[in-house]
Amino acid sequence: MEFLYPIIMTAVIIGSLVFVYKRQKSGKPAKSYLLAQIACFFVVGFVGLGLALTGSAAAETAPAASNVEGISVGIGFIAAALAVGMSGIGGGIAVSATATAALGAISENESIFGKSLIMVALAEGISLWGMIIAFIILGKI
């Protein structure tokens, strides 16, 4: 039964990506496309949470302490995924804002290229911090 979990998660993720792709190709406004991505994120998250909280047959016969340990491991994986996902979203928003402003500033004055590159790199660093936190969480599991 445990071999079905990766198959189910892969099917949900691929289904979500197909839904978002069709939504994007249909020519809907950007707001509709963004809402579709957010909905797919929560669908994948809730399915992952359900899979993390679902016990196998061996866990049902084991004592309650091991079941609590299994739930905490599942919640740890969800926390690591949220750390990477949310920092990636935040980093993407920050890079889009700083890169747009940097390109506008560079088009007016080419001598500030180095400063603008540093600002964009700092905004991208947010995603790296999320990955570092995820590795710390996974190391504690």
The domain made up of 63-141 has a fold known as F1FO ATP Synthase (1.20.20)
56-91 pLDDT, tens digit per residue, is: 544 555 555 555 577 778 888 888 888 888 888 888
User: Where are the chain's structural domains?
Assistant: 1-54, 63-141
pTM above 0.85, yes or no: no
pLDDT for residue 100: 87
Sequence-ordered list of residues with C-beta below 8 angstroms from that of 138, at least 6 positions apart, any chain: 76, 77, 80
Considering only CA atoms, which of 4, 73, 94, 121 is closest in space to residue 81? 73
37-64 pLDDT, tens digit per residue, is: 677 667 767 766 676 666 554 455 555 5
